[in-house]
Amino acid sequence: MNEKNGKNNECVLSEEEKALMQKLAAEHGTPIFVIDHEKIRQNYREFEEHLPRVQAYYAVKANSNPEIIKTLYNIGARFDVASMPEFMLVHENIKNLPDKERQDWIWDKIIYANTIKPVETLEALDKYKPLVTFDNTEELKKIKKHAPNAGLVLRIRVPNTGSMVELSSKFGASPGEAVDLIDEAFKMDLVVEGLSFHVGSQCTNFNNYIQALQLSSNIIKEVASRLDKKLIIVDIGGGFPVKYDKKVKEFKVLAKKLNSEIARLFPADMHILAEPGRFMVADACTVVAKVIGKAVRDDKPCYFINDGVYHTFSGQIFDHCNYPVKAFKEGDKQISAVFGPTCDALDTITLSAELPELDLHDLVYAENIGAYSHASSTYFNGFPPAKIIHINQ
């Protein structure tokens, strides 16, 4: 959907795409959340092109829309799930396969990457011989009792400096205890397949990956020397940055560093996995809303629209992400405030939008809003989430 601006490589809507957004809004009403499936396919192909040795497991939590799952499944993606409903969502896409093929597919194509799993989930997953992550002794005990057929991946804690969303405080074993945890798992007659890490979401500090890969290599070597065990998987997680603005370096810059380090640190038979979520869907979606009210406060224009932080703009709170609100209308711009429709002051989208003077029913839009946005929508105050519209399926 979004074209890249030649000057700074940011993703922006073309005039043709703006016209399409307005047409869809007129046809379906507002707010609408438009998903461009061709852009998703382009992102997947770009990932494959620049990281040919890395197998992408789409992080379903970024946007769990079933049609996105189908598009990625059809192009060859595998999946990272973090809950049983996410697992079943992916499982539904292969329901027509024979039972044996389906079980083999689950083992090979899905990783359950949430390190903490309810007992009920483990019991439900066990028949599929899943690949699951862990990062502590108590989780090992649960897995041994309720999912002994699982293959294990130890998640280690790595630096998250400079990432938009930090994850290391909640997940990951200390690298210093990694070998002991792996040893403990093998003594329980469980099979540890490898290691995983996550450098933090929207990671613009590429040194995080370099340090994490080096830590992983050191642990794998120590496991081989101390335990005489061979680990065969390194899951480099997600965090691959989207070019929300010109400050973010292009993906190919990171890919070049990753390819070099992977080749230097790991043998050719090591399976390298990744869990891109944001990278696949962020710039593939646009929200269109309309002005439902306006006011002037402290000499600043204030606009109320029929989408907000309890809905598509939820990422501004939960994902620490900013989605500039733009107008289709032309005119001299002034600093304006934009609020969502709910009766809550928290429902503030921005106090610094650059907008022309808008009238009731004028349309506004926000680009690059596909990740960690609509997936977190609620029905707070009774306002429903934006209607989903698919294009280029």
Give the model's confidence band at 288: pLDDT under 50 very low, under 70 low, under 90 confident, else very high.
Answer: very high
User: Of these residues, 11, 203, 285, 343, which one is catalytic?
Assistant: 343
pLDDT tens-place string over residues 229-240? 999 999 998 888
Give the model's confidence band at 45: pLDDT under 50 very low, under 70 low, under 90 confident, else very high.
Answer: very high
Q: Domain coordinates of the chain in residue numbers?
A: 3-34+283-391, 37-281
Q: What is the mean pLDDT of residues 37-57?
A: 96
pLDDT tens-place string over residues 177-194? 999 999 999 999 999 999
Place of tokens 């340090």: 211
pLDDT of amino acid 10: 53
Question: What's the pTM?
Answer: 0.90
pLDDT of amino acid 9: 46
Specify the CATH number of the domain 3-34+283-391: 2.40.37.10
Q: Mean pLDDT score of the chain, rounded to an integer?
A: 89
pLDDT of amino acid 101: 56
pLDDT tens-place string over residues 289-311? 999 999 999 999 999 999 999 99
pLDDT of amino acid 304: 98
Q: What is the mean pLDDT of residues 45-69?
A: 95
- Is 334 in contact with 298 (CB distance < 8 Å)? no
Q: In sequence order, what are the residues at sequence separation of 6 or more whose Cβ sits closer than 8 angstroms to the Cβ of residue 353?
A: 303, 324, 325, 335, 336, 337, 338
CATH of 37-281, one of 3.20.20.10, 3.90.340.10, 3.30.70.360, 3.40.50.300: 3.20.20.10
Tokens of 313: 């703009």
Reply yes or no on whether 343 is catalytic.
yes
- Is 351 in contact with 302 (CB distance < 8 Å)? no
pLDDT of amino acid 166: 44
